[in-house]
Amino acid sequence: MTISEQDKTMMREAIRLSVESVKKGGGPFGAVIAKDGEIVAATSNCVTLNNDPTAHAEVSCIREACRKLGTYDLRGYKIYTSCEPCPMCLGAIYWAHLDCIYYANNRKDAAEIDFDDDFIYRELEKPMAERSTPIIPMLRDEALVAFRMWAEKEDKTEY
C-alpha cells in the first residue's frame, strides 16, 4: 500500500498531538481519524489527566468520531496514530471497523520508554492458565440466558 502526502499530513498531526500531550502532562500518544483528508477527530492520550486507563489516544479518538458522526461504524475512515496500537486500542479499532491503521512508533519503541504494550501481546499468546492475571470462568449457564435472548431477538441492532 502506498503512503500519500495526505497520509503524511494526517500522521504529522497525530505526532503533533503526541508532543502536545507530553507538554500538558499526558502520555506521548496522539491519534487522528480522517476521511478523504478531512479530520473528523483528533485526540491525545489522557490516561493520567483523566484518571482513566482506557483514555488512550486511539480509543478517545474513536469515541469522539462516533459521537460527532452519530454512528458506531467507522467504515470508510482511516486512523493515524503516533504509535502502534496496544491490544485494547487495536480491538477498539477493529470493533469500529476503521478501514486502515497507520502508525509511527512501534511497540518496541514504546517498551523502551516503559510503555510495555508488548507485554500484553505476549500475554495473549499464552494459554489462559499461564497468564499473569488469573482468568476464572464461572456461572456460564446463568449468563447464557442473555445470549439466548439476543439470538432470538428479532428487532436487535447488529454491530
In one-letter notation, the amino acid at residue 71 is: T
Name the catalytic one among 5, 58, 130, 152.
58
Q: What is the bridge-based pairing of β-strands 78-83 and 100-105?
A: parallel
How many C-alpha atoms does 78 have within 13 Å on its Cβ side? 21
**Rounded CA gap, 125 and 154, in Å?**
37
Cα 14–Cα 20–Cα 22 angle in degrees, nearest 5: 110
Q: Cα dist. 149→4, 140, 142, 159 in Å?
A: 47, 15, 12, 16
17: nearest Cα among 58, 48, 65: 58
Instruction: Determine the Cα angle at 32 with ends 34 and 66, to 5°.
Output: 70
Residue 112 annotated to the active site: no
Catalogue the active-site residues. 58
